[in-house]
Amino acid sequence: MKHIAVAVDGPAGAGKSSVSKAVAKDLGYTYIDTGAMYRCVALFAIDNGIDIQTDRAALINRLDEIKIALKNENNAQRVYLNDKDVSERIRRADVSVGASDVAVIPEVRARLVEMQREMAKTDNVIMDGRDICAYVLPDAQVKIFLTASVDARAKRRYDEMRGGGIECDFEKIKAEIEYRDKNDSSRAVSPLKKADDAVLLDTTELDFGQVTEKMKELIRNVL
């Protein structure tokens, strides 16, 4: 079988991570969660008292201290920041907003893209994020832009957090998603947009199983 790289882009809360993770598991591919990597950088800033809004230089000067690992343990992916399991912590609201803020810093993006490309060199991979199709993996055989309405994305995130026992407010989550949409689409470096050669997959009216099947169908078409 030839080497396959699957690039998945889309806005916050579109389900990129959960769908990509499930498809990778079904097909035996390696899943690379780039969003988790940006969340790790944001968490590093938070834990080290670095204000991203006022002192980007402090973060840039410490990027070499950030070590990120994605590991499959007990049939699930775990995210490690400097050897500490942060899989749950990086999903909280403060880190979500921070991830969008650090993603506009060119030096952060350059550092993480270097990591991501190295991860994609040896295996069949599914990688999701904001600029995977056009920038990180421009030669990927399969490119997908996964999206949904703001209300649908907010509802899914709300249900996910409540299901995990995290108290949350729907309107606040919706406002955070709208903030991230604006931030991600208007940034100067690699703004969020659909690549010309990516397939648009709108999941507003689709359930999880339908989305995963559609993605697997797109991948099988290139095998």
State residue 189's pLDDT score: 74
- Please report the beta strands in the chain, taking only residues with DSSP state E, as ranges in sequence order: 5-9, 30-33, 68-73, 76-81, 84-85, 125-129, 142-147, 199-202
- Of 143, 154, 62, nearest to 102 (Cα)? 62
Query: 199 is written with which tokens?
Result: 């397939």
b/e map 99-121, b = 16+ CB within 10 Å: bbbbbbbeebbebbbebbeebbe
Class of domain 5-33+93-220: alpha beta
Residues of the chain with pLDDT under 50: none
C-alpha closest to that of 208 among 10, 20, 9? 20
Q: What is the pLDDT of residue 204?
A: 95
- 85: helix, coil or strand? strand
Residue 35 pLDDT: 87
What per-residue confidence (pLDDT) applies to 177? 94
Q: What pLDDT score does 104 carry?
A: 87
pLDDT score at 2: 63
* Exposed/middle/buried for residue 127 (C-beta within 10 Å: 0-12, 13-18, 19+): buried
- Encoded tokens for 56: 């980007």
- Report which of 223, 5, 3, 2 is spatially closest to residue 117, judged by C-alpha positions: 5
Question: Which tokens go with 25?
Answer: 């598991």
Q: State the pTM of this model.
A: 0.75
Give me the amino acid identity at 87: S
